[in-house]
Amino acid sequence: MKIPLGGVAAPGSSRLNKTGGWRVFYPEFLHIRCTDCGLCQKLCPEGCVFRQDKKVYYADMDYCKGCGICAEECPVDDIEMKPEVR
Ligand code: SF4
Ligand code: SF4
């Protein structure tokens, strides 16, 4: 999506930007201690965390920008940020 200089993106348009290209770190969902609290999904600013099954969450890497909020907020440290290898 092209945003004009000084312009503002239209609301709800974040899915048009594949923000995964910004990533320097990526979240690794360990699937060991997850309690299914859903915080990672609720707090991800890109809305790119999905629940695949009970206690199994994953991030859509096309959109994950590697901000680390999910890992920081996971109450049982079941998400680790790892350096991205490109
Ligand atoms: S690192 Fe940031 S963008 Fe990626 S899944 Fe976690 S909260 Fe979402
Ligand atoms: S924040 Fe942690 S414990 Fe909660 S659903 Fe996500 S991975 Fe599981």
Does pLDDT of 3 surpass 80?
no
The domains located in the chain, with CATH, are 17-83 (3.30.70.20)
Ligand lying nearest the CA atom of residue 79? 2
Q: Which of 60, 70, 82 is the best mutation target for the ligand 1 pocket, counting ligand atoms within 8 Å of the beta carbon and taking the most?
A: 70
Buried b (16+ CB within 10 A) or exposed e, 36-62: eeebbeeebebebbeeeeeeebbbeee
| Cβ of residue 78 lying under 6 Å from some atom of ligand 1 | no
User: What is the spatial distance between Cα 70 and Cα 34, in angstroms, rounded to a whole number?
Assistant: 12
Q: How far is the CA of 9 from the centre of ligand 2 (A)?
A: 30
pLDDT of amino acid 60: 96
Does pLDDT of 2 surpass 80?
no
Q: What is the pTM of this model?
A: 0.85
Q: How far is the CA of 44 from the centre of ligand 2 (A)?
A: 11
pLDDT tens-place string over residues 52-70: 999 999 999 999 999 999 9
The beta strand positions in 1-86, using DSSP E, are: 25-29, 49-53, 56-59, 79-83
